[in-house]
Structure 1
Amino acid sequence: MGARLSYPEVDLKGKVAVVTGGNTGIGYETAKALARMGAHVVIACRSQERAQQAIERIKLELSEAGEVNVEFVQLDLSSLQSARDFTDNFIAKGLPLHLLILNAGIAAVELGRTVDGHEKHFQINYLSHLLITLNLMSVIKSSGPDARIVNVSSYAATFGKFDPSNMDGSQRYSRMGFYGNSKLFQIMSMYFLQRRIAGCGVTISSLHPGAVDTEISRNFQDSTFWKTVTNVVKSVGVLRSPEKGAATTINAAVNPEFKDMEALYFENCKVTQPVRSARDEATQERLWEYSFNLIREYVDTGRLASVGIELPSIPDTENNHEATGSTGEQNLTTTED
């Protein structure tokens, strides 16, 4: 028998939620569920057209529930400037933020760089989401109590590792390995950020949604191997629907049982332990310093200081060349449209 996937229906009237990649797959089902419970939902993705289609679909599917409040704000996770612009645009609305659902991502794509010169999985799945979290942290903290940040990670974190000498894949690269890296970093960021805001009424969690049949599989349709694996998995019926795949995300976001419970990791709507490598505090701290120094110029340091997060020191660039990354723009295929 499959895992029992469930979450409580709670009253979210007056609450505001941001869902990255909320136009499709798990993100769409998450956005719809939060809207059904009464939240004002912001769908953050690249394509306004696809977002508007998702919003109209949500309104149609929830027509019997009455008026729902869902809007679009543009976000391209392959650009740090876009991530900064997104947070500025959200803050300019003057809204609180009770739920930040970091859902969008890509999986097992070919080696390539973002416009900022970073390996695609690293920036789209992890680094831009970290930037968004930092720039919105003061809003989230002021919106509590019981404001929550939820990272949609993956079991693929098991295959990941933090290797500062090969973050861009220039020495060696595997599609699933670097996808796993980005998902590992999402879990590690839960720990290093939660330590820095402990006891402030904001909780951060991570989760594995299960094997879900979503559009993310389009990211590796160029690979005969991965396309075959996907087709075989689909044929034996082990993939969850996006609706069931979203259950763990929604449970982490709304279940009153988890109020004030910090740095929880979920699978099948239950609290469990993530991979051991994600729980090593020394490595978490190295990742924090490494990551922050890549996004420092895009961080609103004044807002960050207001929530008591101490900034890492600026590295010696002569001795930290591995953190600079290469530059160059390439076309991207992502599920955060």
Structure 2
Amino acid sequence: MMMMIKAMWETAKEITLQRIVMSYQLRSAALLVPNQLDGLYVIVTGSTSGIGYYTARELAFAGARVIMACRRVDEAEKIAESWKEDTDDSKTLHVEVMELDLLSPSSVRQFTAEWDQSGKPLHILINNAGILLLGESRQFTEDGIEKHIQVNHIGTSLLTLLLLPSMLKANSARIVNVNSVGHHWGAVEPKSWKMGAEEERKFSNMMSYGSSKLAQLMFLKALSTKLISMGKTSVLCVAVHPAVRRQNERVLDVGSF
């Protein structure tokens, strides 16, 4: 009960603060300027819509070499072409599409193997892709893992660890996880993540989502601590909450990454 009260308080506080800030009508223009990120390699997961879409677009227009890592490859390629058509003849947009399905560990491994073969350093990894299956029954992957946990935590963490060697090649690199104030609704209970496990409480998609975001925060903090202890200070680990938003609503200051 206390956890639920705290979660409700934190969520209400976030929404209220957001509305106060929005009342000042802050500009939604990107903070990045053309050519600011020339030569930097950036991977953005889930970049065909919402936060990922605008993040990938603004980074590309700032000169970064953006890799759109997503399941809907055909759609991503159309989006990339439309961005290139929006530029003038004096500017070349560097956007590449690679298939990635965080529901599938084999897809994650194939993606990172292909990236490793390229031999390129990775300067920024933006783990944006995530799911919240509101109004649906509990769902599992083919490997028997609850879907929120697989996509928002396990798949994302595996991707991050496998790409870490490429990030250590760069002079400076960032791991940016798009998290959520919803982590206040969660609890880390690994025994409930697998198919067939008994639930200690009635299943809730919101709580499962919150648990996946909480687990992801804990993973990122542990990774950051480990990197620092090993003297690998060139990789910065960051978690961001992009604010409570409606579907298809553009996020303020998406260029601040």
Q: What TM-score do the two structures reach when normalised by structure 2?
A: 0.81
Question: In the alignment, what sits opposite 2:4?
Answer: none
Q: Paired residue for 2:167, among 140, 151, 165? A: 140
Question: In the alignment, what sits opposite 1:20?
Answer: 45
Question: In the alignment, what sits opposite 1:164?
Answer: 190
Shift of 1:106: 0.8
**Aligned length in residues:** 223
In 2, are the aligned partners of 1:80 and 1:116 still within 8 Å (CA)? no
Distance change (3 Å), C-alpha of 1:155 and 1:66: same
In 2, are the aligned partners of 1:26 and 1:214 still within 8 Å (CA)? no
Question: In the alignment, what sits opposite 1:182?
Answer: 212
Shift of 1:23: 1.4
Q: Distance in 1 between the 2:185 and 2:87 partners?
A: 39
Q: Distance in 2 between the 1:16 and 1:186 partners?
A: 23
How does 1:213-252 map onto structure 2 within 5 Å? Answer: 213-214=246-247, 241-244=249-252, 247=253, 250-251=255-256
Q: What TM-score do the two structures reach when normalised by structure 1?
A: 0.62
Q: Paired residue for 2:59, among 34, 56, 62? A: 34
Distance change (3 Å), C-alpha of 1:65 and 1:124: farther
Question: In the alignment, what sits opposite 1:125?
Answer: 152
Shift of 1:65: 7.0
Shift of 1:48: 1.3
Distance change (3 Å), C-alpha of 1:180 and 1:64: farther
Q: Paired residue for 1:98, among 114, 118, 123? A: 123
Question: In the alignment, what sits opposite 2:239?
Answer: 206
Partner secondary structure for residue 78 of structure 1: coil
Identity %: 35
Shift of 1:21: 0.5
Partner secondary structure for residue 21 of structure 2: coil
Shift of 1:126: 1.2
Shift of 1:59: 1.8
Q: Paired residue for 1:74, among 91, 99, 104? A: 99
Partner secondary structure for residue 212 of structure 1: coil
Give the gaps of 5 or more residues in structure 2: 1-19
Q: Give the residue type in structure 2 aligned to 1:173.
A: F
Distance change (3 Å), C-alpha of 1:154 and 1:67: same
Deviations 1:276-307 (A, max 9, x none): xxxxxxxxxxxxxxxxxxxxxxxxxxxxxxxx
Shift of 1:167: 2.2
Give the gaps of 5 or more residues in structure 1: 216-240, 254-337
Shift of 1:63: 4.1
Q: Give the residue type in structure 2 aligned to 1:192.
A: A
Shift of 1:170: 4.3
Partner secondary structure for residue 205 of structure 1: strand
Question: In the alignment, what sits opposite 1:88?
Answer: 113
Distance change (3 Å), C-alpha of 1:59 and 1:158: same
Question: In the alignment, what sits opposite 1:267?
Answer: none
Q: Give the residue type in structure 2 aligned to 1:2.
A: V
Q: Distance in 2 between the 1:164 and 1:97 partners?
A: 31
Partner secondary structure for residue 63 of structure 2: coil
Q: Distance in 1 between the 2:78 and 2:117 partners?
A: 25
Question: In the alignment, what sits opposite 2:139?
Answer: 112
Distance change (3 Å), C-alpha of 1:58 and 1:8: closer
Q: Give the residue type in structure 2 aligned to 1:212.
A: R
Pairwise CA RMSD of aligned residues? 1.9
Shift of 1:86: 0.6
